Amino acid sequence: MTINKNVVVHIGLGNFSRAHFARYLHDYNAIAKQEGLVEWEIRAVDRDTQRTRDLIEYFETTNYTYDLMASSESYNKTTKIGSIVDLANMGVDPQRAIDIIAEYSTKIVSLTVTEKGYSCDLATGKIMMNNELAHDLTAEGAKSPKSMLGLVTEALRVRMESGMPPITLMSLDNIPGNGHVFRNAVMEFVKMKGNRELEDWIREKVAFPSTMVDRITPNTVNASDTVICEPFRQWVIETNFCNERPQWEFMSGPKLVLTPNVLPYEHIKVRLLNGTHSALAYSAFLTGHVFVDKAITDTRLQKLTTAIMAETVVTVQEVQGMELDKYMAMLCERFSNSKVSDTITRLCEDGSVKGSSFWKPVIIDHIKAHREFPVMSIAIASWIRFCLGVDAHGNEYIVKDPSMAEELKSLAEVAFYHGDVKPFLLAAFGGEVGANNFLIAQVQTAYSQIALQGGMDAFLSNMLRNDASREQTPDVPPHTGTDPDNKQNPLLCLRSQMSLPLGDSIADISTAIA
């Protein structure tokens, strides 16, 4: 490591962080050299997995450089990235991981550990105990942490007791309000450790900026493989830091936005991209598709995809520099990029977390506004059918959801064999939303048609035939921003095919949602 450079310690060095954050810092350092600015480097930390061991071995042969290829049907460019200088295996040498965060040159700790890595309820911050956290809460375990929270809080304790400045803790995960989630998880864990002094120090001095990150990056097989990603990238950063940071103003533009409020950008990305991606995934799985780029060429799924975006876009607001019409059109193009195609099964993983993060806020906004959401109901119904773990031909498959797989499978059986989706909705979205009769009625109707009347294939084909000859339903509020002719996508006419008890459902909104 070069002494005169500032350091970001990044926890969780997967392909996405190498395609996104490391690329941004690589580009920043090129500007820093020209402008005479201090350069920054990444010292990474990760769990003890075979992938981590292989990556360390590979990096030692390349001096920690690697190839990053941005690729699409019309674009292909490879860049050798050199912003990473170290990778510590915290499972093999936890003290080294603590030490590099506690060093004076470290100004920021960033992380991409996925929703599971925060070990908490994303909405409340309540810690979800596991063996790693239990280990890290002991006096001996704190010195050799196994969890992200254990590592971060122990390193912060060392910094505090050594009289060093605080550091900024920056989440780069696809979680709404990721800075708040990170802060809540850290504060709750420190409370459990019983260190009041550290708790006060973090509360008063440590910053947790929220960010929005975006770049489709599929997995690779080997550590030595070129990292493949799409050409598109975006990073929105909340200007909330407690220590030095790169002068990203030199890179400011559509690809990198500095703002005091990330929320509008986050809503656009999480609701329109991530939420749509998940909706597409479950419907695509149930129709036998394997890859995303192939699924989006299925006319039925393409219409479903554009329909859910049209239905969802009314819950987000325009931001400067982003035209929602163009953004949604671009999403379909990005999904169809065969160069970075992802598997449908991977997108179907962790549904309980994604449903709560991507769909639940949209559902709440729709219900509060007395808007029907028939296309979202199709997506939810598809998820319920997927969680049954058996396809239309009787073939079994594994539902990967570390926190709720068995529970959701059991409740999906209730829906399938007893025709009742309410227990599933209660478990997935909580009582505030899951018990809402307006939601239940729409999902129940969609589920009955998908699961009990010929399967997803027949459902989508019938929808396509019916919608081709159906006029726009007057009482579904049209979206006025994405279609110059102010015409709804035909799939939004689903409501007229669904025998919903609208009077009772509307009446229930005020009591179910505060």
Q: What share of the chain is helix, strand, coil (3-state, %, to 5)?
A: 55, 15, 35
| Domain residue extents for the chain | 6-259, 263-512
Confirm if 259 and 236 have CB atoms less than 8 A apart: yes
Helix (H, G, I), strand (E, B) or coil at 104: coil
- Total residues found in the chain within this entry: 514
For the cut 60, the answer to whether the pLDDT of residue 489 exceeds it is no
The tokens describing 348, both together, are: 């179907």
Q: Is the pLDDT of residue 171 over 50?
A: yes
The residues with which 70 forms a beta bridge, in sequence order, are 77, 229
- Element of type H or E holding 40: strand 40-46
Q: Are 207 and 245 in contact (CB under 8 A)?
A: no
Percent of the chain past pLDDT 90, that is, above it, reads 81
- In percent, the amount of the chain with pLDDT more than 70 equals 90
Residue 131 burial by CB count (10 A; 0-12/13-18/19+): exposed, middle or buried? exposed
Q: pLDDT of 457-488, one tens digit each?
A: 988 988 888 766 554 444 444 433 333 333 33
Q: Contact, 471 vs 493, CB < 8 A?
A: yes
| Interatomic CA distance for residues 147 and 135, integer angstroms | 9
Mean pLDDT of all residues in 61-83: 97
Task: For domain 6-259, give the fold.
Answer: Rossmann fold (3.40.50)
- 263-512: CATH number: 1.10.1040.10
In angstroms, the CA 394 to CA 263 distance is: 43
* Dihedral, CA of residue 479, residue 481, residue 482 and residue 488, to nearest 10: 20
Q: What is the pLDDT of residues 280-291, one digit of tens each?
A: 999 999 999 999
